[in-house]
Amino acid sequence: MKVVVDFDLCESNALCMQAAPEVFEVRDDDFLYVLQENPPEELRSKVEEAVRRCPKQAITLEG
């Protein structure tokens, strides 16, 4: 699976970081960094949770 973030939409609410800290990190500059663009399958449910919780619908999952 591939994580795609639309950074025009992302407002760094940081809910994704709470759901899947292995994949998403909002750093001290208040920007979101994707730590793994192709996370392993065992993180799927966490990443799906992050997709669901994003208030800006900025995250999509391919594959």
Partner 1 sequence: MIGAEPHLPYDRPPLSKDVLAGTWDVDRLPLAAVGVDVHDKGIEWRLGVAARALDLTARRVELEDGSAVSFDGLVIATGARVRMLPGQPDLAGIHTLRTLDDCLALRADLDATPSRVVVVGAGFIGAEVAATARQRGLDVTLLEALEVPLQRVLGDRMGAVCADLHRDQGVDLRLSSGVDAFFDDGSGRVAGVVLSDGTTVEADVVVVGVGVVPNTEWLNGSGLVIDNGVVCDETCLAAPDVVAAGDVARWPNRRFDEVMRVEHWENAQEQGAHAARRLLGDAAPYEPVPWFWSDQYDRKIQLAGRSGPNDEVRIVDGSIEERRFVAVYGRAGRLVGVLGMNRPRPVMQYRQLIADGASWDEI
Count of C-beta atoms within a 10 Å radius of residue 5? 19
CB of 26 vs partner 1, minimal distance in Å: 4
DSSP assignment of 10-31 equals -----HHHHH-TTTEEE-TTS-
Q: Nearest-CA neighbor of 31 among 55, 13, 49, 52? A: 13
Contacting partner 1 within 2-61 (CB under 8 A): 11-15, 17-18, 26-28, 30, 51-53, 55, 57
CB of 57 vs partner 1, minimal distance in Å: 5
Binding site for partner 1 (CB under 8 A): 11-15, 17-18, 26-28, 30, 51-53, 55, 57
